C-alpha cells in the first residue's frame, strides 16, 4: 500500500488525539503528517508514532500536498477549511455534522456501505457516534429483511462532549467524595450520579437535533428512505462507550436464532448474549476497542415482526476516530 500525506484537523481534542493513536495502531501508511488545530493550540506536542508531533495552526495553506485530511473539529472549522482542503486536492473525511446530510457527500460506515466512498467529490462524512454504533449492530438484520421502524434510547457517555465532558465527570465525582458541591460547566446539570434526558438542541417537534440524527442519517447510510425512527438521547455518568436500546420492526419476521447467527457473523460486531449467565454488553467491556457488542436479543412483544436488542460501543473510537480512519483505508484501496 502506497504511503500518503495525512493531516488531522482538530488534533488536540479528544477525537483528534484518538485519531493519532488509531493511525499508529492500524499502521496507516503515512509519508508526511500534520497535526492541525486553532492558534491557541499551536506549538503543543502530541505523542505520535513513538515520538512527538508539534501542533501547527490551521490555515488555508496547511493542506497543500496533503492527500487525506481527517476532521476532528467543530462544524464551524470544518466549513471554514473544507474549500481549502478540496482546492489542495485532498479528501476531507469529516467527523463533524456539517456535511452529513448534503446530497453529494457520502455518509459512510465501512461495515455497512463502503461502496458509497466512491461517490465523493472531495468530502466524506463520518456519521454521528450513536448512529454508527446502532447501525453497526443492526445492519446484519437489515440485510436479511429491510428495517421499517426503530425505537431507540441512547445512554451516551460523557466522552461525547469531548475532553471537557470527561474532565467534568471525574471532577464532580471527586468533589462529591470530598463533600464539596459539584460544579457544572460542560453540562447544563450535574452529571455525576444523574442522567440528563437531552442531548442537542430543540428542533421544534419535541425531539432534539441529536435524536433526529438516528433517523436522518440511518436513511442515508442504509439506503432506506422510508425508515422511521423515534429516539430518546440521554447523557449518563459513564466515561466512554455509548449504549443503545433498540426495538426494530422488519418487513418479514426474523427469528431470535436467525438474528443471533447474523449478528455473530457481522463485520464489526460481537455477539454477547447469555442472559441466564448475566452476559451482555456493557460500557466498561467495550471501552478502548473498536467492536460493537450486541446482546439481549429477544422478540418484541408488541409487534409480530419486531426484535429488541442492546448494544454498546466506544464513542471515541468506533463512534468517531476509528470509523474515520477506516474510511481513509477504503480510499487507499
DSSP state of 187: S
Length of the chain: 333
DSSP reduced 3-state for 308: strand
**In the block, which residue shows the cell 470530598?**
178
Catalytic residue among 120, 231, 242, 311: 242
Instruction: Kindly tell me the burial class for residue 145, based on how many C-beta atoms sit within 10 Å of its own C-beta (0-12, 13-18, 19 or more).
Output: middle
DSSP reduced 3-state for 93: strand
Catalytic residue among 120, 129, 233, 269: 129
Closest CA to 240 of 280, 289, 188, 201: 289
129 is catalytic: yes
Q: In this structure, what C-alpha cell is assigned to residue 130?
A: 450513536
Ordered alpha helix ranges (H), the chain: 14-25, 75-87, 129-144, 163-177, 209-221, 256-265, 283-286, 322-332
Q: In this structure, what C-alpha cell is assigned to residue 163?
A: 475532553
CB 94 within 8 A of CB 117: no
Q: Which long-range contacts (CB under 8 A, 24 or more apart) does 220-224 make?
A: 220/100, 220/101, 220/107, 221/107, 221/108, 221/109, 221/112, 221/113, 221/127, 221/131, 221/135, 222/112, 222/113, 222/135, 222/139, 222/142, 222/147, 223/113, 224/142, 224/146, 224/147
120 is catalytic: no
Catalytic residues: 129, 242
Amino acid at each position: 500500500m502506497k504511503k500518503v500525506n495525512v493531516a488531522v484537523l482538530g488534533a488536540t481534542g479528544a477525537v483528534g488525539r484518538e485519531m493519532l493513536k488509531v493511525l499508529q495502531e492500524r499502521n496507516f501508511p503515512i509519508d508526511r503528517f500534520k497535526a492541525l488545530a486553532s492558534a491557541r493550540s499551536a506549538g503543543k506536542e502530541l505523542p505520535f508514532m513513538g515520538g512527538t508531533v508539534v501542533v501547527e495552526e490551521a490555515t488555508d495553506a496547511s493542506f497543500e500536498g496533503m492527500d487525506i485530511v481527517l476532521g476532528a473539529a467543530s462544524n464551524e472549522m470544518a466549513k471554514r477549511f473544507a474549500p481549502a482542503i478540496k482546492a489542495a486536492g485532498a479528501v476531507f473525511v469529516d467527523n463533524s455534522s456539517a456535511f452529513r446530510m448534503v446530497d453529494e457527500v457520502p455518509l459512510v460506515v465501512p461495515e455497512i456501505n463502503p461502496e458509497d466512498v466512491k461517490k465523493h467529490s472531495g468530502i466524506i462524512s463520518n456519521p454521528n457516534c450513536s448512529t454508527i454504533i446502532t447501525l453497526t449492530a443492526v445492519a446484519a438484520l437489515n440485510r436479511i429483511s429491510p428495517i421499517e421502524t426503530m425505537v431507540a434510547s441512547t445512554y451516551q457517555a460523557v466522552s461525547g462532549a469531548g475532553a471537557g465532558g470527561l474532565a467534568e465527570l471525574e471532577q464532580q465525582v471527586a468533589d462529591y467524595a470530598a463533600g464539596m458541591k459539584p460544579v457544572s460547566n460542560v453540562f447544563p446539570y450535574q452529571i455525576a450520579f444523574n442522567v440528563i434526558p437531552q442531548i442537542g438542541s430543540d428542533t421544534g417537534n419535541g425531539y432534539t437535533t441529536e435524536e433526529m440524527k438516528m433517523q436522518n442519517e440511518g436513511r442515508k447510510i442504509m439506503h432506506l428512505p422510508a425508515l422511521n425512527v423515534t429516539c430518546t438521547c440521554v447523557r449518563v455518568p459513564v466515561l466512554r462507550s455509548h449504549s443503545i436500546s433498540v426495538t426494530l420492526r422488519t418487513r418479514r419476521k426474523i427469528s431470535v436464532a436467525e438474528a443471533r447467527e447474523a449478528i455473530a457473523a457481522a463485520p464489526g460486531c460481537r455477539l454477547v448474549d447469555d442472559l441466564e449467565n448475566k452476559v451482555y454488553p456493557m460500557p466498561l467491556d467495550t471501552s478502548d476497542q473498536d467492536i460493537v457488542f450486541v446482546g439481549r436479543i429477544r422478540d418484541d412483544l408488541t409487534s409480530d415482526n419486531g426484535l429488541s436488542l442492546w448494544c454498546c460501543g466506544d464513542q471515541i473510537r468506533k463512534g468517531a476516530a476509528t470509523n474515520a480512519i477506516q474510511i481513509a483505508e477504503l480510499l487507499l484501496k
